[in-house]
Structure 1
Amino acid sequence: MKEQGPIQRHTISAIVDNEAGVLARVIGLFSGRGYNIESLTVAEMDVSGKRSRVTVVTSGTRMVIEQIKAQLDRLVPVHRVADLTMDGPFVARDLALVKVAGEGEKRVEALRLADVFRARVVDSTRSSFVFELTGTADKLNAFIDLMSELGLVEVARTGAAALARGGQGLEDAPHP
């Protein structure tokens, strides 16, 4: 049976217990069913260290996304699952560290473009820079593309960190 509907990109956030093996179970759910993970970010979300937020960017038809959410919600260490893409407006940001080597005009141009993109220089030598840049994945991709012409050496990126807009947190929202 062929799945119907367009492939859409979704940002899914889950509150989970912060304990060994939880991330492996979440990843196992995706890999075992052939779902792709475009971006994955996990970090403690409270000072007690008891809970973590897992943010996954994935793609699929509406039916596939619903299956992913339902299967995530059934995992025992998962407390809450939200599809930020469907639930309303949200804010998402990625982080990139971008190393660029160059001298002369290429060095000046790299600094000029970094200023335009609001990238910060976090390390500098006579022949290279490491820029720190936050923003949407598209913004980071555009910056990296431009730096590739000016001496891009390497890139390290995080996945998306995302929160719903408004005054309510994921743990406070009514459970469907």
Structure 2
Amino acid sequence: MILALTMVVGRVQAQSTEQNLSREEKKALQEQLDSLLAVEAVQAINEKAFTLEADRVVFKYGNMAYVNSNTNFVSVKGDNAVVQVAFNIPISGPNGIGGVTVDGSVSDYEVKTDKKGNISISMNVMGTGISARVFISLPKGTNHATVEINPNFNSNRMTLEGVILPIEKSNVFKGRSL
């Protein structure tokens, strides 16, 4: 009970403080937060321990859909990776949640930084039955990234957009893998 009351008081104080901040102060705080998240994302990429949680998918011909970020993701942990897409459809799909899951090993993992500080990652994810070539683009100073997935079994390339998080801060649900 005391903990709940403390949390409510804390929220009220935070809202009161937020209302007293000027637009410039709010913008400065947001920039500091974005900077911290960007540093955290770069560190996770370099350690090969990250998840890109996607909230939007762009299909081959430009159609776009918003998706659930805990079931649409690319996750890398050491030499293992999971690439999963799951759409909000009534059909369960091969992974049981409306899409496809590739759970496999990472090869050809390469991280490059251009002159402007933008990061690009390329890798192959080799599952039991299928594999995919994955390209991730992370603009400098943010944790908002784009991943292009090129499956080997068809030409249905798709692009996911979302945020890169350290793997321990990620909250994803993995379906059955192929």
| Coarse TM-score class (shorter-chain normalised) | under 0.3
TM-score by length of 1: 0.26
Q: Which has the higher contact order (CA 8 A, sep 6+)?
A: 1
TM-score by length of 2: 0.26
